[in-house]
Amino acid sequence: MRTALITGSGRREGLGFETARQLGAEGFHVIVSARQLEQVGPLAAELADQGIEASALALDLLDHASVTTAMQRVNAQFGKLDVLVNNAAMMVGSPGVAEKDMDELLLEFQTNVVGTWSVTQKFLPLLIASGRGRIVNVSSGAGSFWDPDYGLVNYPGFEMERFGAMPISAYAMTKTALNGLTLKMAKELKSDNILVNAVCPGVTATRPGTEAFARPVADGAKGVVWAATLPDDGPTGLFFRDGKQLPW
């Protein structure tokens, strides 16, 4: 059976859990993960109730020991990993360049870039063992210099006063870095038959009150699943939304 690990999938309303549900419907054994096992245990059980092969895994991107232990458990149970979806991320609504707290900035980069790198590095032997591994880095149009669709002002119904300004300075830079990391990974791992792509799911309604301006989570997850199930001759090292290449 094909296996897929999705990081940051500890919220029922989140993109990670919906991605797991859709991959499970495609016949994958999905591994939902979060920092605390109690976050994902009930979600794995919920997927199992829907007829999906699923298991739960504790994985903290910022804890190297946690990542290593998670890899060892997946290796012991499956001996390989076919798909890694790097979905876990941090976005802090805080001031721009002049007022940004540097400790907060470091935490965002450690989570969104270094954490993704760490998880990929640790799970790489299992992806190679698959023979046709897929890595999907969940990015954002905020990480593109040229994405014409990015920006909440383009979403009717968005209330700036209610939800606050988007933290473009820090979050956008982490996603720009993630896109660059995607390119680096793709070049290095091509000889191992691993396809690596970044995907922007669009602004999705993962929080209460965002339905007025954001797309359904299921729609955002479709693009992630598309990249996770690419054929062997599919693209690598590129940036997509809804299966269409984006500039960055």
- How do 134-138 and 83-86 pair as beta strands? parallel
Task: Give residue 172's pLDDT.
Answer: 85
Count each helix (H run) and each strand (E run) in the chain, helices first.
Answer: 8, 8
pLDDT at residue 149 is higher than 90: no
pLDDT given for residue 96 in this prediction: 73
Q: Residue 10: CB partners within 8 Å, gap ≥ 6?
A: 16, 17, 32, 33, 34, 35, 36, 39, 40, 43
- How crowded is residue 183: how many other Cβ atoms within 10 Å of its Cβ? 17
Domain boundaries, the chain: 3-245
| Residue 85 · residue 6 · CB < 8 Å | yes
3-245 has CATH 3.30.360.10 classification: no
Say how many Å lie between the first and final Cα of the chain, rounded.
35
- Smallest Cα–Cα separation from 23: which of 69, 242, 15, 192? 15
Per-residue pLDDT for 154 more than 80? Answer: no
Active site positions, annotated: 171
Provide φ and ψ at 30, rounded to 5°: -100, 140
Q: What is the reported pTM?
A: 0.91
SS3 220: helix
Mean pLDDT of the chain: 89
The predicted pLDDT at position 108 comes to 93
Q: What is the pLDDT of residues 162-198, one digit of tens each?
A: 444 444 578 888 999 999 999 999 999 999 999 999 9
Q: For residue range 80-136, list pLDDT tens digits in order.
A: 999 999 999 998 766 677 788 899 999 999 999 999 999 999 999 999 999 999 999
